[in-house]
Amino acid sequence: MAARRRCGTITSMCGRFEISALDQILATFDAEETVELGPPRYNVAPSQQVPIVRQDEGRRTITPARWGLIPYWAEDASIGNRLINARSETVQRKPAFRDSFARRRCLIPASGFYEWQKSGARKRPFHIGMKDGSLFAFDGLWSAWTSPGGTTVESCAIITTAANDLLKDVHDRVPVILPREAYGQWLAPAERSAHSKLLVPFDGSLMRRHEVSSLVNAPRSDSPDCIVPIDQLPSTSASAAPLLLPWAT
């Protein structure tokens, strides 16, 4: 029965992000430290574990989740490789996401994210973040899937929307970023219409962007050099990675 469901496969819009300001998480999200956060990450890629913030019985907790949502009805985990993003325009209708949108919303902390701009035959990576360097949150969804062997896997997806004025010349889709005052509304149970109103582009005047090197194209590259402006890196570092991978298109 599950095999006949349409999974709502989408084209990737946000394929990499940074979560390095780990010391800010507890204060930013008013959450309890319930999991070891690990080292700073500068190039998080799909299928990797990321921290998510969710509401559990009136308190906010931080939980690890695999990036790439696996619907509870899936036959195997591989479907999650295609479900790293959910479009804001269809998230309430797609079978892969609608149950999570109604019942399992989360915040996905980030210090920055990457988008690629087409430039002839090349794609130029840009790092995007807040002007003040602060931690922020993507609108996220999570799901719990149990394998045939009885193992439970929790996973997540980032909701995307149309690009704001700062980024529309780089990519036409970007993650939905929530203003801090809306965190409680997104996590709390409410009518769907209340959550739908939050699925809008973030104020570009509060953000900044800069081009970075092709280091970010390779998942094995996970160092502070990934976020350094390209004109501030030695030429050997700037060209050390292979061509752009498919999920960042």
Measured in degrees and rounded to the nearest 5, phi and psi for residue 155 equal -140, 170
Instruction: Assess whether 106 carries a catalytic annotation.
Output: no
Residue 208 in tokens:
């900044």
- Choose, from 14, 106, 156, 226, the residue flagged as catalytic: 14
Is the backbone of residue 231 left (phi > 0), alpha (psi -120 to 50) or beta?
alpha
Distance CA 229, CA 213 (A): 7
Distance CA 49, CA 28 (A): 20
Q: Give which of 162, 169, 164 is closest to 119, Cα–Cα.
A: 169
- Choose, from 115, 154, 156, 226, the residue flagged as catalytic: 115
Instruction: Assess whether 115 carries a catalytic annotation.
Output: yes
The number of helices, as runs of H, and strands, as runs of E, in the chain is: 5, 13
Residue 88 in tokens:
């804001």
Distance CA 136, CA 99 (A): 25
Q: Give which of 224, 221, 211, 212 is closest to 241, Cα–Cα.
A: 221
Q: Give which of 199, 197, 193, 181 is closest to 141, Cα–Cα.
A: 199
Judge whether 95 and 143 are in contact, CB under 8 Å.
no
The catalytic site residues sit at 14, 115
